Structure 1
Amino acid sequence: MKLTDYMTKDMIILDLKASSPHLALHQLIDVMESEGRITNKSDYYKALVNREAQSSTAIGFEVAIPHGKTDAVILPSVVFAKAPEGIEWESLDGDPVKLVFMIGVPEAAAGNEHLRILALLSRRLIDDSFRDGLKEAVTVDEIYAQLSTVEA
């Protein structure tokens, strides 16, 4: 299983411009909607915000992994965005977020798929060179190629 099994190249944003996590989430949700992966933007947004209210999904290393489980999601999906200017996200280490992996899973698939995607990501995100490579990539193809190396 590869991370890219949960996304298309159209689900990569090269230059996310958002002044807050909430604005970032709305932009990423728009991508999910345009790809036909959600049925209700508002329900999905609520799931993301409810999860964020439990604790920040900004895990440090300039990375955030917002995620939500809801029946508004049609199939397990990941949207990736680079935010070169950084977004203040109440990160565990205090650094602004520059890499965002937004995960959406249907409620019925919440346990298996949600944990599988998080496990795939967490194993690679501890690698400085992987994160640096994503930050330095300038095209969707370069990012997609790097993300395709994330596999179980």
Structure 2
Amino acid sequence: MDIMKILNTNRVILNMQAKNKTEAIEELTDILHKDGAISCRKTFINDVWQRESEGSTGFENHIAIPHGKSAAVIHTTLAIGRTQHEIPWETLDGSKVRCIILFAVRLEDQNTTHIRLLSQVAGALADDDIIEQLLKEDSPQKIVDLFSQYAESGVC
């Protein structure tokens, strides 16, 4: 599955109100629920926290990539959010988080699609220019386009 088939501007919020990890996960889950990607907010959040208990999903460069593999997911997708506040999160480089990419994965996709999508996102996040734009860009469409251009470049 191509990341561009699951990412849209309805799932990008660039002015999150969250001030901590819990609020960030809940705010992005609300977007997924409102957009029809998940059927049960509570079940999905519990599954995200289950995954967090297994090890931090903090990346580096102010990015976190939490994910929930859940029966509550109607179709595998992701939501991208950028906070107005730096959020403490266990990251590889010790940085506080400003951009969260929340994966919502159907149980049926957990060993296939999930791995490919995670690989595509991680590959994009290896590009310093993409990270810089994720942290600055004010247009949800331009955030979606970042991943689209990366995928079209054949790098991933």
Same fold (TM over 0.5): yes
Q: Which runs of 5+ in 1 are unaligned?
A: none
1:91, CA displacement in angstroms? 1.6
Which whole-Å CA distance do the structure 2 matches of 1:145 and 1:63 have between them?
18
What residue number does 1:80 align with? 80
Which whole-Å CA distance do the structure 2 matches of 1:13 and 1:150 have between them?
20
1:144, CA displacement in angstroms? 1.8
Q: What is the correspondence of 1:17-28 to structure 2 with a 5 Å cutoff?
A: 17-28=17-28
Q: What is the correspondence of 1:90-129 to structure 2 with a 5 Å cutoff?
A: 90-129=90-129
**CA RMSD, 1 decimal:** 1.3
Which whole-Å CA distance do the structure 2 matches of 1:147 and 1:82 have between them?
15
- AA matched with 1:27: E
Q: Which runs of 5+ in 2 are unaligned?
A: none
TM-score by length of 2: 0.92
- AA matched with 1:137: E
Tell me if structure 2 keeps the 8 A contact 1:64–1:99. Answer: yes
Determine whether 1:133 maps to 2:153: no
Which whole-Å CA distance do the structure 1 matches of 2:36 and 2:150 have between them?
24
Tell me if structure 2 keeps the 8 A contact 1:20–1:88. Answer: yes
1:46-71, Cα deviation, whole Å (9 max, x unpaired)? 11001111111011111100001111
Q: Please state whether the residue corresponding to 2:138 is helix, strand or coil.
A: coil
Which whole-Å CA distance do the structure 1 matches of 2:125 and 2:25 have between them?
20
Q: Please state whether the residue corresponding to 1:58 is helix, strand or coil.
A: coil
Which whole-Å CA distance do the structure 1 matches of 2:36 and 2:81 have between them?
18
Which whole-Å CA distance do the structure 1 matches of 2:35 and 2:121 have between them?
22
Determine whether 1:53 maps to 2:53: yes
Which whole-Å CA distance do the structure 2 matches of 1:67 and 1:44 have between them?
9
Which whole-Å CA distance do the structure 1 matches of 2:87 and 2:28 have between them?
14
Q: Please state whether the residue corresponding to 2:85 is helix, strand or coil.
A: strand
Which whole-Å CA distance do the structure 1 matches of 2:14 and 2:4 have between them?
16
Q: Calculate percent identity across the aligned residue pairs.
A: 26
1:84, CA displacement in angstroms? 4.0
- AA matched with 2:138: V
1:92, CA displacement in angstroms? 2.2
1:108, CA displacement in angstroms? 1.4
